Structure 1
């Protein structure tokens, strides 16, 4: 089996939901060994979130949990108990990285703050992911993904376009802010690992979900800070073109440049309306964007996504297709790249999963194991790794420790 990029790096995860588990999933996919700690009995809250395999609610069948926790080992441990704290500290001694997503004061209240853990492992990189960071007046505020999304400024600009100015703020689908925060944390951890190789010491990483999302709109933020201009939806989105209906769904195209507009007109076989003075130059087309989109749509609905994409691209017009999830799974391109892979899980059997958006020539992405069942690796970690006796596990379970 070929080596993996982060082989030998040991990660301890004390997280639930999406952001923290996605961060450690990225590290696990790069080859790090991730030990996921879940609370006894219920486990990660993501286990209770849909979609479920075959629509049967089951903590071992949540598609969200299964995706986020592939390639990880899983144990159950109650770190609020005295014995649980001792076992947790044993794990920390062996870890390179700890990722946690608890409220800012919680780890301190448990005696598991960075300063305390650094004493037993000076090389530890501890990453904390919270809605508003470890400092500041909002540090103790609680927030769901919906709250954080709008606190990051993205909701104010969504959906973009003049036609949407009067609509209420809108959160985009899924867990964008959570995934983006997890990605920010993973990048920061890789930098800390590099720095540790040079310095020998660990460090604390403070990740704010709000600030992670704000990074998506850096240009808008600095314009407000330096020019006093508040960007609105009227200045977001595409003035004409963009996502418009076609014969079998939607297509996307943008013609910022005059040469692209000329090519589009030629591609449409020079309709008479295209010579109207209203569409003479870019400024005119922007001014009459709503009318222009109506005329474009009349032509587009007679053509399929495939026709527009392939024939339009061939003429130099930047067309793209609006894919559904089924389109992506059936994509010949993604099949050729092997993007979707089958992973065999004891509760679902073989199911297709997304793999990784990169391909290494020397340290390829690999499926090492499916997402863990709740407490699946308790014996492997607590007995074989830490040296506890097998008969202890039953007592620890009865006491609510594991």
Structure 2
């Protein structure tokens, strides 16, 4: 079997919760040896967030933690201690990447500043993920996923096309913005590694979560720059899409944003007379009579289940999508055919089914190699075998609370 594309890389991750760990997970899925560094005793913040297996709070059975940390090795280090800092420097000495989510200046205060780390390892790529980046007037501000999502402008746009035009902005589901920042960080890290491989040096990748989230809606920002008018969060005056509800109670998204999409929808509906005549025979007319258009579309949808609506529109070469909940997604034949869900056997949580990778390589058969590590699970392997500490040394370090 051909080796995974990043199997030659060593990544040290000193990050918690979502964005840093998910960035590390993405690299681990590419085959990198990702060593996760956690604080002794408490570990990653995600260990203390649900959902939990059987609803029993257990830092080894948090669904969030278990998903975000597959395919990694885990060690514990107290970076506030001189011994912990020394061990960390040893880990970094031959690493390719450091993923860090500490506040600006926090590692420097521990003697682990960029110059020190780069002095130990000139080829090191340091990827820092913080709410607002390492520079600027907000660099030192504390923030959580709710803060950065709204500071990005994304929250203002939701709920897009809401029928309740007085509804306040809402946050994206789950930790959406944190995942956006992680994907941005992973792409930037790979770019830095590519440049290093072309004869460059290591470098610092400074990721702003605020900017990463806004980057996905930059078209809205461009409209303001071009026109001086903020995007209309209710969708008024813009014919984009609508939801219809099938007779089974499930929803389907229908795209209305172009004449081409309308042509396919018109065929899928059986070329109804109302759709062939004014005002619905032009894009401008449909936009001006949007609420009446929605009523016609819903009357048609009332005849069919959601899956049938979806397949009818797709068969007419127009865009639509079923609005799946988790149960429908898991049982979807498309998901099953591509083997997207992968089982991991965890020593505490048991067999857990996780989302796998959203891509396949033609020459690398991928499978999950490790469940998320227990707290300090690989101390002996990484710090003992890897850094040359014997059993007596490790015992002393545990007793001192360093690991």
Which TM-score band applies after superposition, normalised by the shorter structure? over 0.9
Name the structure 1 match of 2:332.
Answer: 331
Aligned-pair CA distance for 1:2? 3.8
Q: Counterpart of 1:384?
A: 385
Matches within 5 A, 1:139-150: 139-150=139-150
Q: Over residues 225-279 of structure 1, what are the superposed CA-to-partner deviations in whole Å (9 max), with x where a residue is unaligned?
A: 2332211214479636522211220011113344543543443345454355332
- Superposition deviation, residue 169 in structure 1: 1.1
Match of 1:252 in 2: 253
Structure 2 runs not aligned, ≥5 long: none
Q: Deviations over 1:269-311 (max 9, x none)?
A: 4545435533231111111111211222122122111211222
Partner of 1:110: 110
Once the two structures are superposed, the pairs formed by residues 131-170 of structure 1 within 5 Å of their partners are 131-161=131-161, 163-170=163-170
RMSD: 1.8
Q: CA deviation at 1:395?
A: 1.8
Q: Which residue of 2 aligns with 1:371?
A: 372
Given that 1:164 and 1:233 are in contact with CA atoms closer than 8 Å, whether structure 2 keeps it comes out as no
The unaligned stretches of length 5 or more in structure 1 are: none
The 3 A distance-change label for structure 1 pair 224 and 262 is: closer
What is the distance in 1 between the residues matched to 2:190 and 2:344?
27
Q: TM-score, normalised by structure 1?
A: 0.95
Task: Tell me the residue number matched to 2:192.
Answer: 192
- Distance in 1 (CA, whole Å) between partners of 2:185 and 2:212 is 9
Residue 184 (structure 1) shift: 0.6
Aligned-partner Cα distance in 1 for 2:58–2:33 = 26
2:242 and 2:256 in contact (8 A); partners too: no
The match for 1:351 is 352
Q: Which runs of 4+ in 1 moved over 6 A?
A: none
Give 2:23's aligned residue: 23
**CA distance 1:316–1:381, shift in 2 (3 Å):** closer
Equivalent residue pairs, number: 402
Q: How do residues 233-382 of structure 1 correspond to structure 2 at under 5 angstroms?
A: 233-235=233-235, 239=239, 241-248=241-248, 249-258=250-259, 260-271=261-272, 273-274=274-275, 277-382=278-383
Match of 1:53 in 2: 53
Q: Deviations over 1:166-222 (max 9, x none)?
A: 211110111111101011111111111111112252111111000101101112212
Contact 1:241 1:253 in 2 (8 A): yes
Shift of 1:331: 1.3
Query: Counterpart of 1:163 in 2: which secondary structure?
Result: coil
Give the superposition deviation at 1:137. Answer: 0.4
What corresponds to 2:12 in structure 1?
12
Structure 2 length normalisation: TM-score?
Answer: 0.95
Change (3 A) 1:259 1:96: closer
User: CA–CA distance in 2 between the matches of 1:344 and 1:255?
Assistant: 45
Structure-1 separation of matches of 2:177 and 2:55: 26
| Cα distance change of structure 1 residues 266 and 356 upon mapping to structure 2, 3 Å threshold | closer
C-alpha contact 2:70 2:371 (8 A) present in aligned 1: yes
Worse overlay, 214-223 or 179-188: 214-223
**3-state SS of the aligned residue for 1:242?**
strand
Q: Any conservation in 2 of the 1:156–1:232 contact (CA below 8 Å)? A: no
Farther off after superposition, 188-197 or 247-256:
247-256
1:253, 1:356 → 2: CA distance? 27
